[in-house]
Structure 1
């Protein structure tokens, strides 16, 4: 077996204003040049040729497509979900405003002949952040953004491909310390290894804000979206019809590790080609996380609804997740204690509460929304 591996990091550079200049007969006309421009990226390529002189027959009819087994195989690509090529450009408009863009290209070697062209993979990402006296604000538009809001509104399953502590895909990253994978698995029951973990693929416009001062020394933050998740596929009836979602989260950090948040998410889809009939589901919830002495209380509860042209009135149902946890060691009423950590969880989602973008999956609900 022969492997061809190419990994080329692009040149990364920055333009920085210098206070010292050489003598010139004419004065410098640029009064306030761009203080910093950065550019970087990478290109990945993996190719392999396998030629077996003696093949071992596999009695698995669905293992191969076409004539099998094949003694000679030519393959290109790593199977990894990151793009083959990415170019990032960022800079500062002034000391308080940052701008940037990411250009990502997919592997041109996948699919049929019609798909074998260099095309945009995750699209073009445009983003900017603004620092002000009122807080830090950001906007993201264009390609895929990995987004999550709360367990009942927008959140992906966290156990996907992370069930075994001792099994690792070849393209999964390694941590700097060996014990890090073990500690993550012990704390959460799963291993978070990249930015997709627990996040939903979203395409559209995202607005964020943080560090906003509130009453009694509290701090507010928010995030909002309008666009499409992977469930707003846009081709159930015809391409280009109305099929989008919106979401909003407002969080209040009152200090001492206590947080309270309001969440809202809704998705609407046209179910005919003339856009007279729609199907819509939404959910609004209250999320909390606080501690009384050594006992930690966290969870979320809210109300979900579903309506379509097939039913006369919209339906409503409750959804809740309640968590109570006690750490393995602590100090309670003047006594140090050591025990097995305990965590109790109670959850209930009514059949009328429909949402296919939460961390809880229901087969009947998914079939309903995709029908």
Structure 2
């Protein structure tokens, strides 16, 4: 107690001194006033804060895991019981918003992590989630201007400059996410997913986090508008705190007509590793963007030039072109077409594409780098998930027949320059389970091939020449096919939802428009996920899930240790059930229980099985 008082004494004295300097002249003036007569009939002055709003949620999360089969390097603990989310997700979130008399808006999020994780004060203290943000808006004859600063805020600009990783909403609804909102009725979330496939992932979805100064101008003369930010981002952190690192972004837009908009986007990022070191890293991007809307379709084209350099080498400049074309949803069969080409020199970790050419672009900061690290070498990803050093095309369509809704797509992609990188695939089934075994781990597991990021896991695969030891240098080609069926049926006034999702993803040394299903492919990935949701009434819903994933490699990839020297032959299975129980319009109880299995007969130590259970109570206020 004494140490804490001594520690905070300078801060207290500083604040006290400032208060005295500010108020002392006023107190003296009041004391010398001769005409003042004391009265209790004083008209109260308006509070400096004219309006304050509170909102937030309480989320109790109980997690249990019982492992039947473990990795050989397991610590020996097979049973885990945790009260609280394994990630840094708040148990209690209190959002405060206010508007001052001078029309200055302020907001902050107070959070408490789980108080059930032990006696550590770091788990029980009330802290700021994203800092304290201030915002003011100025209305003039020339436009509307908004200034924001303070804590962390979310920002989005364009797909090639600043845009969160967004793809098609093809997913299983069995896994719970803390950002998921609470509905008045248990089945509303499943009804929305059946109707339009949209799932609310929170304010962060599709945006990037920045801390700095944000400026925005709208309703400017000649239909111009702009927005920008200069500040810091987790994607550009230095190893030593306090070093020079910043990111500056800006967007200038002009709405020529109601159907045509043109924009210029800019991004500059710089990082110095230490004050005395000459090590630095920087990249810059400039793009032009055109959006055209007609009665039946929308076209969005963005093209630009990027350049990356650091203290060791200069990649030079490279181009990027991204075209999205989609028809009106009201058509009988809506279509979506995406064409892109992103050169290996076009490097950016804040855009809506993956970086596969410069590993050093990810910050090597403890506790930060692993959390934002994305698949690096040869990622086998789904549709509408671009990557640099790659070009290709994909098409998706939707079709309905009565209560049955289908959406499917296919794409083919090719690397621009040959590399000696291997391959990376994301686990569609049991990916979140593996991530919970080792949070944000890199190169872990019995074969050091697994990597965990936020609620997901990807695995790395080496590709060799014919001798089986030399890393293969080649251009790789990728083919993807996805299909999802959604069906709804009324049974005695109770809704039944069935969601089935199938995906095929292959990589091969030659171009092929469709996935290669034979051993000619370097790696093949098949996955199927089925959700069955039975709405008992407006307050209760039963959900069941089954998922299976198969990974097959050929003899040019890693060979196992079973004695037969065979490539990957992985199988992942997940079978679970759960219940959503609406306690009130703003409170819901979620229960989940699942059996998992992860096995490969050719890699003997890849053998996992067990069960996971979660109980979650979320209350919005």
Q: TM-score range by the shorter chain?
A: 0.7 to 0.9
CA 1:74–1:277 in structure 2 vs 1: closer, same or farther (change >3 Å)?
closer
What CA distance in whole angstroms lies between the structure 2 residues aligned with 1:320 and 1:179? 36
1:296 Cα deviation after fit: 2.8
Question: Could you tell me whether the CA contact under 8 Å between 1:83 and 1:105 is conserved in 2?
Answer: yes
| Equivalent residue, structure 2, for 1:242 | 244
CA 1:65–1:258 in structure 2 vs 1: closer, same or farther (change >3 Å)?
farther
CA 1:112–1:154 in structure 2 vs 1: closer, same or farther (change >3 Å)?
farther
CA 1:292–1:170 in structure 2 vs 1: closer, same or farther (change >3 Å)?
closer
How many pairs does the alignment contain?
Answer: 319
Equivalent positions of 1:250-289 (< 5 A) are 250-289=252-291
CA 1:80–1:108 in structure 2 vs 1: closer, same or farther (change >3 Å)?
closer
What CA distance in whole angstroms lies between the structure 1 residues aligned with 2:63 and 2:336? 51
Larger radius of gyration: 2
What CA distance in whole angstroms lies between the structure 2 residues aligned with 1:354 and 1:170? 30
What CA distance in whole angstroms lies between the structure 1 residues aligned with 2:211 and 2:101? 25
| Equivalent residue, structure 2, for 1:322 | 323
| Equivalent residue, structure 1, for 2:43 | 28
| Equivalent residue, structure 2, for 1:127 | 134
Question: Could you tell me whether the CA contact under 8 Å between 1:305 and 1:352 is conserved in 2?
Answer: yes
Alignment counterpart, residue 118 of structure 1, candidates 98, 107, 125: 125
Structure 1 stretches lacking a partner, 5+ long: 1-23, 330-337
Alignment counterpart, residue 68 of structure 2, candidates 58, 65, 77: 58
1:56 Cα deviation after fit: 6.7
Alignment counterpart, residue 84 of structure 1, candidates 79, 87, 92: 92
CA 1:361–1:49 in structure 2 vs 1: closer, same or farther (change >3 Å)?
closer
1:104 Cα deviation after fit: 2.1
| Equivalent residue, structure 2, for 1:104 | 110
Alignment counterpart, residue 214 of structure 2, candidates 196, 203, 206: 206
1:295 Cα deviation after fit: 4.3
- Give the secondary structure class of the aligned counterpart of 2:358: helix
CA 1:284–1:48 in structure 2 vs 1: closer, same or farther (change >3 Å)?
closer
What CA distance in whole angstroms lies between the structure 2 residues aligned with 1:141 and 1:199? 17
TM-score, normalised with respect to structure 1: 0.73
Question: Could you tell me whether the CA contact under 8 Å between 1:303 and 1:317 is conserved in 2?
Answer: yes
| Equivalent residue, structure 2, for 1:357 | 350
What CA distance in whole angstroms lies between the structure 2 residues aligned with 1:113 and 1:328? 53
1:78-117 CA distances to partner (integer Å, 9 max, x unpaired)? 85735633241402324xx232131423416569948445
What CA distance in whole angstroms lies between the structure 2 residues aligned with 1:118 and 1:143? 19
Question: Could you tell me whether the CA contact under 8 Å between 1:151 and 1:359 is conserved in 2?
Answer: yes
Question: Could you tell me whether the CA contact under 8 Å between 1:46 and 1:78 is conserved in 2?
Answer: no
| Equivalent residue, structure 1, for 2:503 | none
Structure 2 stretches lacking a partner, 5+ long: 1-38, 365-621
1:202 Cα deviation after fit: 1.6
1:75 Cα deviation after fit: 1.8
1:145 Cα deviation after fit: 1.1
Question: Could you tell me whether the CA contact under 8 Å between 1:127 and 1:138 is conserved in 2?
Answer: no
What CA distance in whole angstroms lies between the structure 2 residues aligned with 1:342 and 1:35? 50
Q: Which segment drifts farther, 297-306 or 85-94?
A: 85-94
What CA distance in whole angstroms lies between the structure 2 residues aligned with 1:341 and 1:74? 45
Question: Could you tell me whether the CA contact under 8 Å between 1:108 and 1:115 is conserved in 2?
Answer: no
Alignment counterpart, residue 37 of structure 1, candidates 48, 51, 54: 51
Question: Could you tell me whether the CA contact under 8 Å between 2:156 and 2:207 is conserved in 1?
Answer: yes
- Larger relative contact order (CA 8 Å, sep ≥ 6): 2
TM-score, normalised with respect to structure 2: 0.46
1:97-141 CA distances to partner (integer Å, 9 max, x unpaired)? 232131423416569948445263434222223241333322222
CA 1:344–1:159 in structure 2 vs 1: closer, same or farther (change >3 Å)?
closer
